[in-house]
A and B are shown apart, each in its own frame.
Chain A
Amino acid sequence: MKGSAAAPPLLEVDRVSVRFGALIAVNQVSLRIGRGEIVAIIGPNGAGKTTLLNAVSGFYRPYEGTIAFEGRDRTRMAPPDVAALGIARTFQNVALFKGMSVLDNIMTGRLLKMRGSFLLEALYWGPARRQELEHRAFVERIIDFLEIQAIRKTPAGRLPYGLQKRVELARALAAEPKLLLLDEPMAGMNVEEKEDMCRFILDVNQEFGTTIALIEHDMGVVMDVSDRVVVLDYGRKIADGPPAEVRKDAAVLDAYLGVAHEA
């Protein structure tokens, strides 16, 4: 399943820079993510990780450089169009509809896949009904997969933080993405919740073949989960390779991990 260098990468970011006025948040970063890979993007605070993710998901427009998805340039595209291509994401701060049930929240992840007229939808009749049932069946598979059956009907806002993160992942999965961008999926979780989340990320990758790019601070998680680690510092890429190699890289140790024995 792992992407090889020869096959065309799923995502190719070529010398992309993002500027906010005079501040260069991402500076000439290039990276490739192969199909089926799990890539971790790490770096100190303010290194430009989230900005890079936002550029990929179409939320920011790169100042220079190109982003190609499945070999097609999509540097300038609005987020809904990017989503329609098959890129889904979760957010650093949970962004769920708090008053809506977990089920409805996940169903919103299917919106892009829904076709039909407003009238038929409103009447819940004919093709609209069939379509709704199909989507519900798909969502139920994800609920089963992420083991959140018990909270199906619970309003999202009432859930503890760790579960909200899981629901957010479920919503992203509902869009059947080819590339899943996870912005700090384990932030603020306890050890047990982190272990669960790690398992889910690995299972998603294995079962659905989803390619995953994630930003994470917990080095234990990064080393366990990812096939490859990309390190950013001050907007520049300073390392890119398998976890074991990156961990020994002198520049990375200086920039991010502090002293060697701390890693």
Chain B
Amino acid sequence: MKALDAERDTFPKLVRENARRISGKVAIREKDFGIWQSYTWARYFDEARLIAHGLAALGFARGDRVAIVGDNRPELYWAIMAAQALGGVPVPIYQDSGEKETEYIVDHAEARFAVVEDQEQVDKLLSIRARCPRLAHIVYDDARGMRAYRKPGLVSLAELRELGRKFEVGHPAHFDTEVAKGGADDVAIICYTSGTTGVPKGAMLSHRNLIVTARNAAEFEGLREDEEVLSYLPMAWVGDHVFSYAQAIVCGFSINCPESAATVLSDLREIAPTYFFGPPRIWESLLTGVLVRVEDAARPKRAMVQFFLRLAQDIERKRLAGQTGSLWQRLLYPLGSLFVYGPLKDNLGLSRVRRAYTAGEAIGPEIFLFFRGLGVNVKQLYGMTEASVFVTIQRDGDVRLDTVGTPLTDVEIRISESGEVLFRSPGVFRGYAKNPEATSQTLADGWIRSGDAGFLDHDGHLKIIDRARDVSRLADGTMFAPKFLENKLKFSPYVREAVCIGQDRPCVTALVNIDLVAVGNWAERRNIAYTSYADLARKPEVYDLIRGEVARVNRSLAEDDVLRGAQIRRFLVLHKELDPDDEEITRTRKIRRGYIAQKYAPLIEALYAGRDHVSVEAQVTYEDGRTGTMRADVMIRAVDDAPARTAR
């Protein structure tokens, strides 16, 4: 473990240093009232200190837990620092979590305070407070709609600041004393991971975990003080915490909070970040947006764009394989930059990106090649909440399609006998809050069991195959890696989600979610009228389309000696989209297999019973928590096995 200087071993201390060293540099921007409002590091520190004083006035004690709920807002980042400064622990919670999930976390974390964005979150917390008696104070930022609220323990941020100002007069040394008491090994944050099985677990990360990992990654990647980041991913997710909080403070770069969830794409364009992070679904939706617009363009324009995009992907594919494009291609590329790649990057807000990451799930090769072809340095990263994110990164100039890169500085990787990836690093967490059993299952002698099956290739690159516990066998003993198949399916722009089933079954079958934007556009182009997702999902034409995609996956499987036997024989298009509100996928869009197998058991039985349609009733949860029932008749289609072929 690297020693940390006692003057710089917690985030509040680092922010204090930034407030001196680069006091006038912008730390946070937020688009508000149509204008990007800037806050400097000096202001960042003052605001956080004021909030800390306010919390202290309410009786905040060391060790108190603070729930943080809302969209990415400067005030909420300041509240995180305020809690840390007073020796408390912030617990960010997904802002779109329902009452049940929020209640579980607030209760389990024993939160005494909550700092939240607006009325929506206040209402949620007020209604769970009856069952979480420890939750004494709720602080809210946006007062709108709450004029008539008179509840004990409910204060606005403006009132809290006022309390803080008064407190400061009486206790001028309180803040500095409390900050000085903090040390590197205090818990800095508890991130609850949704988990694909069971209840959420609260991963405790210390200041040391986060500071050392953030610094190592910044050095590894050459991050600078002038980076610009768009903070648009949920604050409850460890990724946002590391990029928008830990790394921003360690490096002193600026983060930018979008105006609202709906304006992220235009805000992205206005900010043009230099350092960007997106899970595959973000890259997918950017690409889908481009392709839909290309389809709508006039014919000559469309032909030109398609020609140059193909050229870029072709060159990039060769480059990743260590070859160079033909002379002709190299001559044409600058022309493509001028007419297509440059304008397109500018339009997407990716023109200034020096490095971008994709992680969390496998990314489709077409998507990866598309952005790299444009000249966006997007790279794969492998990380976990329990590791303070970073485990491996693809180095610049050593990017591959099918690996997640090499270990970061100070990270050791080992593969267990059963093929599971184990690692050890300075970022390895302090354990799960109040859950020694889960901690001992994951953490032994400083090594973390990732739960992922994978291997290191001869260049030291890590390759992930699937979740270790999901790799299983068909009834006849053929190896079956569901996520591998699902990712292949999801590489199609028309498939949004897929769930493959096959463990101890005679063959593989799939439940498919279509992509409403892409398939909707495809349908409009063919004059197929539809009203809703459910309606579109049951069109025979859509089934033909998806069948083509499944056949494509089967053809690529036929080239693989091990997985040839696990081709998809039958599929259906689900009548509803998988939704975190229905607990079918996690908030980070990981499939909860056990739950789906149980919930859709009749559908799955019908797939294996050889029927050609099945009727279902499904429970749906609306955003306000009410539930309703929907009935549908779902068709089932069979797909032929592709003949065995040897690899090219």
Residues A144 and B32 in contact, CB atoms below 8 Å apart? yes
A199 vs B624: C-alpha distance when bound (angstroms): 14
Q: Which of A140, A141, A199 contacts B145 (CB 8 A)?
A: A199
CB distance from A190 to the nearest CB of B (A): 12
Known: A203-B145, A207-B147. A144 touches B262 (CB 8 A): no
- Chain A residue at minimal CB-CB distance from B263: A150
Q: Which residues of B contact A207 (CB under 8 A)?
A: 144-145, 147
Residues A149 and B147 in contact, CB atoms below 8 Å apart? no
A203 vs B32: C-alpha distance when bound (angstroms): 19
- Chain B residue at minimal CB-CB distance from A195: B624
Q: Which of B33, B145, B147 contacts A144 (CB 8 A)?
A: B33
Asked if A128 is an interface residue, CB under 8 A from chain B, the answer is no
Asked if A202 is an interface residue, CB under 8 A from chain B, the answer is yes
Residues A140 and B263 in contact, CB atoms below 8 Å apart? no
Asked if A152 is an interface residue, CB under 8 A from chain B, the answer is yes
Asked if A92 is an interface residue, CB under 8 A from chain B, the answer is no
Chain B residues 546-590 with CB under 8 Å of chain A are none
Residues B33 and A206 in contact, CB atoms below 8 Å apart? no
Chain A residues 140-157 with CB under 8 Å of chain B are 140-141, 143-145, 147, 149-150, 152
A152 vs B270: C-alpha distance when bound (angstroms): 14
Residues B260 and A145 in contact, CB atoms below 8 Å apart? no
Asked if B169 is an interface residue, CB under 8 A from chain A, the answer is no
Q: Which residues of A contact B145 (CB under 8 A)?
A: 199, 202-203, 206-207
Q: Which of A136, A141, A150 contacts B260 (CB 8 A)?
A: A150
Residues A149 and B144 in contact, CB atoms below 8 Å apart? no
Total number of A residues with any Cβ neighbor in B under 8 Å: 16
Q: Which residues of A contact B260 (CB under 8 A)?
A: 147, 149-150
Chain B residues 349-378 with CB under 8 Å of chain A are none
Asked if A137 is an interface residue, CB under 8 A from chain B, the answer is yes
- Chain B residue at minimal CB-CB distance from A137: B33
Asked if B198 is an interface residue, CB under 8 A from chain A, the answer is no
A141 vs B147: C-alpha distance when bound (angstroms): 18
Q: Which residues of B contact A136 (CB under 8 A)?
A: 34
Q: Which residues of A contact B34 (CB under 8 A)?
A: 136, 140, 143, 149, 152
Residues B32 and A206 in contact, CB atoms below 8 Å apart? no
Q: Which residues of A contact B298 (CB under 8 A)?
A: none
- Residue pairs across A and B with CB atoms within 8 Å: the count is 34
- Chain A residue at minimal CB-CB distance from B145: A203
- Chain A residue at minimal CB-CB distance from B264: A150
Known: A140-B33, A140-B34, A152-B34. A206 touches B148 (CB 8 A): yes
Q: Which of A140, A143, A203 contacts B144 (CB 8 A)?
A: A203
Residues B147 and A206 in contact, CB atoms below 8 Å apart? yes
CB distance from A249 to the nearest CB of B (A): 28
Residues A145 and B144 in contact, CB atoms below 8 Å apart? yes
Q: Which residues of A contact B33 (CB under 8 A)?
A: 137, 140-141, 143-144
- Chain A residue at minimal CB-CB distance from B262: A150
Q: Which residues of B contact A147 (CB under 8 A)?
A: 260
Interface mask (A136-180 → B, CB under 8 Å = 1, otherwise 0): 110011011101011010000000000000000000000000000
Interface mask (B278-316 → A, CB under 8 Å = 1, otherwise 0): 000000000000000000000000000000000000000
CB distance from B452 to the nearest CB of A (A): 37
A136 vs B145: C-alpha distance when bound (angstroms): 23
A149 vs B144: C-alpha distance when bound (angstroms): 16
Asked if B35 is an interface residue, CB under 8 A from chain A, the answer is yes
Asked if B486 is an interface residue, CB under 8 A from chain A, the answer is no
Q: Which residues of A contact B148 (CB under 8 A)?
A: 206
CB distance from B74 to the nearest CB of A (A): 15
Given A143-B33, A145-B144, A150-B263, list of 6 further CB < 8 A pairs?
A137-B33, A140-B35, A141-B33, A199-B145, A202-B145, A207-B144
Partner-A contacts on B (CB < 8 A): 31-35, 144-145, 147-148, 259-260, 262-263, 266
Partner-B contacts on A (CB < 8 A): 136-137, 140-141, 143-145, 147, 149-150, 152, 199, 202-203, 206-207
29 contacts between A and B (CB under 8 A): A136-B34, A140-B33, A140-B34, A140-B35, A143-B33, A143-B34, A144-B32, A144-B33, A145-B144, A147-B260, A149-B31, A149-B34, A149-B259, A149-B260, A149-B262, A149-B263, A150-B259, A150-B260, A150-B262, A150-B263, A150-B266, A152-B34, A199-B145, A202-B145, A203-B144, A203-B145, A206-B148, A207-B144, A207-B145
